[in-house]
Structure 1
Amino acid sequence: MTDKKKKKRKELSSFSILFIIIIVLGIITQFLNGQGFTPQAIPGTDDMVDHVVGATLADIVMAPFHGFQNAIEICVFILILGGFLNIVTKTGALEAGIQNIVKKFNGREVWIIIILMLLFSLGGSTYGMSEETIPFYSLLTVTMVAAGFDTVVTVGTVLLGSGAGVIGSTINPFSTGAAMDALRGIGITPNVGVIMGLGAVIWLVITAFSIYIVVKYAKKVQKDKGSTILSLQEQEDMEEYFTEGQDRNLEFTKKHKIILTLFAITFLVMILSLIPWNEFGITIFSGWTSFLTGESFGDWYFGDLAMWFFIMGLIIAVVGKFSEKETVNVFIQGCADMLSVVLIIVVARGASVLMSQTHLDLFVLDRAAEVLRDLSPVLFVIGAFILYLLLSFLIPSTSGLAYVSIPVMGALAQEIGLSPDVMVIIFASGCGLINLITPTSGVVMGGLEISKVDYTTWTKFIMKPLLIMAAAILIILIVGMLMFS
């Protein structure tokens, strides 16, 4: 009976959900067309705006195209990543390596989850690891399924792991770093100790809870495959895409070890290249590392990463003794496999671009600030947190939202005698929390697409933990506001 219910469950595709969101947001802007708000500068420009502009049919139709323009670097990166991963896969090294790892962790497979979630979480808290996790979904899904888990465990490990770190941002330059810079821009000197301390407390609580949630579910699925929350279609997709070769006992050869070493170096360089070393006072990577792409470590972005993965893919193809024609064909096939992920990110970014074009995001911020002005400290924290949940839905970019909102919210907090430093953490934790589930996030929708998990399945898994995390975060924020105001 349960299987029949699972089979009958009809799911909207990620594309349909995103197109519906774009249309609904466009309609909302029509109702608010001409509504005024306190004049604000458009981020990145000196131009001032003071009213909502209703989206035209052309704006709605062109939103995905503008999203493509806005997200071109990450789209190219993901396409090349697909080619790179397919080359590594065709060598057989990944399959043999995964079998070797699963054998070594036999009976202790949950430690794979714990170790990876801690690493992702540290990355999220220190340098905002988010889009950089996309390469791990394809790799880890095969590993988790081979270990007896399901695809939801992969999404939980990667998205909740890195997301818990972003929620508890400490020195994350794209979250707390951008917010502190925005405070300085309006003449407020942030208390770094307060910000990092509160961030660390939230990081510890949310990371521990996230690991508990994923491990608990993983153990249940490993013990009883029927307890999975995946629909029958998702289970069939898991069998089709992520179980190939598991019934074969592969030899882990010297060539496999060399290829996996190159594979690990590729990802290690990716991580190191994105950490803003100069901001931490570390200059060892300055200058001399720019010979490859023209940018030093810490200044790399997705264009630099795309060509790095391209070069390493060619090197691995040589080690794997691929012919020129085989290398090209395998690479192109891998790119094609990632096309749906790219299109999802494009449409998701289109929704964000539409909000920016119509200034709906600035309107919501202005109206909310007026409401929050007369509230008590406790209600102010709750209201500001809810505001950031909404704003992050409209603006998934944390650094972009910091420069739009913190000059308003930080100044408001100081004006009414509350701590602008705690406001920074309200911003960081609110953004991080909603970015675990918002369909306008290319990371969420892209990761789900790679792992073949429906968006509605993920919301079913994460909704209750999300509410518990929100409650825990609010308690910490309220105590922090009362202590430091």
Structure 2
Amino acid sequence: MKQQKHPNKRRFEMPDTYVILFLVLVATAIATYFVPAGAFEREQVDGVERVVSGTYESTAQDPVGFMDVFMALQTGMVESAGLIFLVLFAGGMFEVVERSGAITGGIMSAVDKMRGREFLLIAVISILFALGGATGAVANSVIPFVAIGVMLARALKLDAIVAVSITFGATFIGFAAGFLNPYTVGIAHAIAELPLFSGMLFRVIAFILLVGVTIWYTWVYAKRIMRDPSRSLMGILEDEGDMVEMKDAPFTLRHKLILAWVAAALAFFVFAVIQFQWTTNHMAAFFIIIGLVAGIIAGMNYNKLTLTFLEGCKNLVYGALIIGVARAVLVVMEQANILDTIVNALSVPLGALTPVLAAIGMFIANTVFNFFVPSGSGQAAIIMPIQTPLADMIGVTRQVAVQSFQFGDGFSNSIFPTSGPLMASLAVAGVPWIKWAKWLLPLFLIWSVIAMSVLAIGVWINWGPL
């Protein structure tokens, strides 16, 4: 009789993002005892504080203590309160809109109207989800919508990879461009002291390029399967009797009014940002207004509307509080005066590069970092305080620095197995990560080439606030 070996042996489990961030916080606290303290001189340029290159000087060492580490968590939450509530209120607003059935009904209406026109159908669904990602309307919440992709792929005799591509894939490539995304560009702009959602036209152009090539890549694969089903990496989806309940989702006049109101409200917000210089605080407040009006149009009574909004806030507590924990790392670095030392150290290798290569280096560094912190808002809170003064010193505009973060975060969320939304979406569609990565890798490389080109052009045109 063979004995079972190592019956209690546990498989390695990837640490949660909060665990990783806390370890980073502890490591940063330890580093304050070894990393020299120092500071740059700073100056006000057009109302924005900038680092003065070449003015770094050493200062007295001031390492943090045991209690300071935990106090930093509290301070980080308080200093990030505006951004945290922006994320929470966005979640509440989108939950009201989603619970009304308007999003599901609108997508299913598009599916019904374009049956038989495969390319147009794939393009329209992909664009809808990409716009959802670009505006922050759909991000982690895309997971249940992958079922729509599965249903569509089944109807077209395609495979589950196509289902994931037109829903999750489209959402996160839109998220990477993020021209109106409060979770990435909104937070990054606040930290970089740039006008909220400035530089939108250039980001819209990048969005069109990225989404266009994604639709093309998906369609080439889909057409190949239509011609020869054996060329599918997964095998085509067979018809089943238990079609997803979303198939019968209605799309009423009320739903159309809700979507029209949300679109008009977001368009007005863009106008207000440009015309009235609205900030992230205005956007957080405006999300409450959008949610209230959407709930009233949906016919929700005051109790249901309130509870639905709070449910949406609750769903994003995990993502929102990451901002505060990430901020705690910055609090420790600032308290011990080692932030400028790190910036100065990074500026040496990047400063030896041309601004174009430095911007590309930022993009690559953000991509690698996202493996460990797969959270757009959390990564923005950690990276942008370092990348902002660094950009000032190496001749890269802050707008380019923000976009290098967005690309690095957004692209890798679509392929790194540490991305929770990716792994959950693959589970819904029944796609093994290995097969998804094999299919996506060529597209990922195409995205990266486009990103590097966009960043290079941004440097050449001196892409600024507007």
Which bin holds the TM-score, normalised by the shorter protein?
0.5 to 0.7
Instruction: Work out whether residues 175 and 402 of structure 1, in 8 Å CA contact, stay in contact via their aligned partners in 2.
Output: yes
Q: How far apart are 1:136 and its partner, in Å?
A: 7.2
- What residue number does 1:469 align with? 447
- Taking a change above 3 Å as real, the CA distance of residues 348 and 261 of structure 1, as seen in their structure-2 partners, is same
Q: Say which of 255, 258, 261 aligns to 2:253.
A: 258
What residue number does 1:309 align with?
A: 291
Provide the residue aligned with 2:84 in structure 1: 71
Residue 270 to residue 447, structure 1, CA distance change in 2 (3 Å): farther
The reply on whether 1:352 has 2:326 as its aligned counterpart is: yes
Contact preservation (8 Å) 1:144, 1:151: yes
| 1:272–1:297 Cα contact (<8 Å) kept | no
Check the 8 A contact 1:270/1:305 in 2, yes or no.
Answer: no
Task: Say if 2:191 and 2:384, in contact at 8 Å, map to a contact too.
Answer: yes
In 2, distance between residues paired with 1:446 and 1:213? 24
Distance 2:320 2:280 in 1: 26
2:176 is the counterpart of 1:163: yes
* Pair 1:102 & 2:102 matched: no
* Equivalent of 1:269 in 229, 241, 264: 264
1:97-117 deviations in Å (ceiling 9; x for gaps):
554432211133553443465
Instruction: Kindly provide the amino acid, as one letter, of the partner of residue 371 in structure 1.
Output: P
Q: What SS does structure 2 have at the residue aligned with 1:310? A: helix
What residue in structure 1 maps to residue 120 of structure 2? 111
Confirm or deny: 8 A CA contact 2:138 2:171 kept in the other structure.
yes
Task: Give the structure 2 partner of residue 366 of structure 1.
Answer: 344
Q: Is residue 147 from structure 1 mapped to residue 147 from structure 2 by the alignment?
A: no
1:349 alignment partner AA = I
* Aligned residue in 2 for 1:245: 245
Equivalent residue in structure 1 for 2:401, among 427, 431, 439: 427
How many Å apart are 1:219 and its aligned residue? 6.5
SS, match of residue 317 in structure 1 = coil
Find the aligned partners of 1:164 and 1:158 in 2 and give their Cα distance. Answer: 10
Match of 1:3 in 2: none
| Distance in 2 of aligned mates of 1:397 and 1:428 | 11
Q: Does 1:39 align with 2:40?
A: yes
Inter-partner Cα distance in structure 1 for 2:179 and 2:377: 16
Pairwise mapping of residues 19-418 of structure 1 onto structure 2 (< 5 A)?
A: 19-34=18-33, 35=35, 36-39=37-40, 56=66, 59=69, 63=73, 69=81, 70-86=83-99, 88-89=100-101, 98-115=107-124, 117-118=126-127, 129-134=134-139, 137=142, 140-141=145-146, 143-148=148-153, 150-151=163-164, 153-164=166-177, 166=179, 205-215=209-219, 227=233, 244-245=244-245, 256-277=251-272, 279=274, 300-317=282-299, 328=303, 332=307, 336=311, 339=314, 341-359=315-333, 363-375=341-353, 380-387=358-365, 389=367, 405-413=387-395
1:224 Cα deviation (Å)? 8.5
- What is the CA–CA distance in structure 2 between the aligned matches of 1:249 and 1:123, rounded to whole Å? 22
Which segments of 5 or more consecutive residues in structure 2 lack a partner in the other structure?
1-10, 52-57, 154-159
1:109 to 1:180, Cα distance in 2 relative to 1, 3 A? farther
Check 1:161–1:220 CA distance in 2 against 1; reply closer, same or farther (3 A cut): farther
Partner of 1:417: none
Aligned to 2:157: none
**Distance in 2 between residues matched to 1:119 and 1:381, nearest whole Å:** 30
* Cα distance in 1 between the residues matched to 2:165 and 2:63: 40
- What's the CA shift string for 1:1-58, capped at 9, x where partnerless? xxxxxxxxx8958xx5212321331232134214224337799999999779658577
Contact kept? 2:92, 2:313, Cα under 8 Å? yes
Aligned to 2:410: 436
Match of 2:286, as an amino acid?
D
Q: How many residues were matched structurally?
A: 402
How has the CA–CA distance of structure 1 residues 465 and 357 changed in structure 2, closer, same or farther, with 3 Å as cutoff?
farther
> Following the alignment from structure 2 to structure 1, what is the Cα–Cα distance between the partners of residues 171 and 151?
17
What SS does the aligned partner of 1:349 have? helix
Gaps of 5+ in 1: 1-9, 183-191, 230-234, 287-294, 319-323, 414-419
| CA-CA distance at 1:433 after TM superposition | 1.2
Counterpart AA for 1:267: V
Q: CA deviation at 1:78?
A: 1.4
**TM-score for the superposition, normalised by structure 1:** 0.60
User: Counterpart amino acid of 2:213?
Assistant: F
The TM-score normalised by the length of structure 2 is: 0.62
Identity of aligned residues (%): 13
Match of residue 7 from structure 1: none
Deviation at 1:276, TM superposition (A): 4.1
